[in-house]
Amino acid sequence: MVVTSHYLASQVGVDVLKAGGNAVDAAVATGLALAVVHPGAGNIGGGGFMVVHLKDGTVTAFDFRERAPLRSHETMFLDSLGQYVEDLNHEGYLSVGVPGTVAGFDMALKKFGSRSWKTLAEPAVRLADKGFPLSWSMAESFKGYASDWRKFPASAKSFLRSDTVYYQPGDIWKQPDLAKTLRRVQRSGRDGFYKGETARLLAADMKAHGGLITEEDLAAYEAKERSPIRGTYRGYEVISMCPPSSGGTVLVEMLNILEGFELGAYGHNSAAYLHALAEAMRRAFADRARYLGDPDFNADMPVARLTSKEYAADLRRTISLNTVSKSPPSTLQFPEEDDHTTHYSIVDGEGNAVVVTYTLEYWYGSRIVADGLGFLLNNEMGDFNHIPGRTDSTGDIGTRPNLIQPGKRMLSSMTPTIIAKNGKPWALIGSPGGRTIINTVAQVVLNLIDFRMNVAEAVSAKRIHHQWQPDVMRLEVNTTSRDSERLLEMMGHRLRRNGYQGRVMAIVIEDSTGVRWGASDPRDVDAAAVGY
């Protein structure tokens, strides 16, 4: 079973499995295909995380998060007076971190793969070279970002038919420059991206436009194999991503807090349930801001304590079930984090499970297509804290664990997660959504375990988000009844009604029969669960 944000990518993954490849093989082929057919978030110019649970019990994680260029520094987004230059960390060439996706795929493939780059890259090369029909949503998206494409000639060449003519639904969209880049990866794997022609062209494009990434940055990039975060919830094992993603740590901390409440008895999305949920979210997100960052630069992060049952019990005692209680005080006000990422889940016939969440940061990242290379560049430098030492109510955060340093990975919220039952993968879950990712994944876990929903129900159900600061509970429209909303307000919650939250791609494996049930989020119109 393969579940992704685009039906063509899902089919690519299943075709690899049908041909005898394993889940890691399929994950690489699927990720490359998404870079072609889902350019808003699928990528080779960004980075992300992979969690693997093999049939023999092996559990590991691959960190291919982007890194700050070697010439970056703490104050690079400030002017000569020390004032933040608005959006400089998200717009233009300075916003681009060193991409990690190809290196991460290469590391996973070398360790667990059974197929070659030549075989696994071929579907993506073919899709880029021959093209594929644009859906209505993609054609409209291309048109909606036309003003961004026009800022960069290579972007306009890729996403516009001409300066005034847009692609239409059903048009065959071809990406010849991307096909050439993918062929170099197909021939040489990692070296086809981080060395040679691709590296030379990318470094030249950076230099021509004031960017910082050099051939040295690309050659020096390393993916990391790390030990995932592990916890338990009501007898199930929770396996998720470790720092520099905050996802697994915050997820396990929240679940540990909530394990002490009889959530199933409260009723799904009742006032009592949503109150307990928000209170757990507030506390875990406070710890996220205080402690978490790149482990290679923050060796003293108290992850073991944050994910312990004892610490959760201490936090639980501070929660009142009748009123909003005080979470740890702070003046931190978090700015909005872009919610455009993508996740996919894969399980093969042997029971090997892989979950991948990767991103460009904004939808289409920096909106810059690398000149002559055909792929979009990320704008992940915006995920660092950009004003050292300044934390105030306007949205500035200057806490040290996530300040810019050369070679450092920026903090992430990506939460690729595997729930295991009796030592075997049971549920594969992940989502895009910026900081909402963690809370989205948590609610799907609770839907499956506490409310015994099937996977389609668990993925489709309405969701909320609270990230401690600002002190607001965000709800999807029709998450709960008006009476429950009034009860929440009487408890002291400030409510804000939002649009969609997350786009979950999930699989549940029946432990008795081994049948795989896949569900793509109905919030994502091009998504598909494909199995055989």
What phi, psi does 175 have (nearest 5°)?
-135, 75
Please state, in angstroms and rounded to a whole number, the distance separating the CA atoms of residues 401 and 99. Answer: 21
Tokens of 321: 């079930």
Sequence-distant (≥ 6) Cβ neighbours of residue 108 within 8 angstroms: 24, 27, 28, 50, 52, 62
Burial class (CB in 10 A: 0-12, 13-18, 19+), 185: buried
Please state, in angstroms and rounded to a whole number, the distance separating the CA atoms of residues 407 and 88. Answer: 19
Place of tokens 């549940």: 508
What phi, psi does 35 have (nearest 5°)?
-60, -25
Sequence-distant (≥ 6) Cβ neighbours of residue 466 within 8 angstroms: 277, 278, 281, 282, 285, 439, 472, 473, 474
Are the beta carbons of 248 and 228 closer than 8 angstroms?
Answer: yes
Q: Following CA atoms 69, 71, 74, 76 in sequence, which dihedral angle do they give, to the nearest 10 degrees? A: -100
As a whole number of Å, the CA-based R_g of the chain is: 22
Are the beta carbons of 440 and 417 closer than 8 angstroms?
Answer: no
Mapped onto helix, strand or coil, the DSSP state of residue 205 is helix
DSSP structural state of residue 82: S
Mapped onto helix, strand or coil, the DSSP state of residue 305 is helix
Of 508, 318, 334, the residue nearest 413 (C-alpha) = 334
Neighbours of 334 (CB within 10 A): 15
Please state, in angstroms and rounded to a whole number, the distance separating the CA atoms of residues 49 and 401. Answer: 20
Asked about 391 being catalytic, the answer comes back as: no
DSSP structural state of residue 363: T
Q: What is the DSSP string of 132-200?
A: EEPPHHHHHHHHHTHHHHTTSHHHHHHH-SSSS----TTPEE--HHHHHHHHHHHHHTTHHHHSHHHHH
Are the beta carbons of 26 and 114 closer than 8 angstroms?
Answer: no
What phi, psi does 296 have (nearest 5°)?
-75, -10
Are the beta carbons of 2 and 17 closer than 8 angstroms?
Answer: yes
Are the beta carbons of 70 and 216 closer than 8 angstroms?
Answer: yes
Mapped onto helix, strand or coil, the DSSP state of residue 240 is strand
SS3 content of the chain, % helix, strand, coil (to 5): 35, 15, 45
Catalytic residue among 4, 341, 342, 415: 341
Question: What are the catalytic residues?
Answer: 341
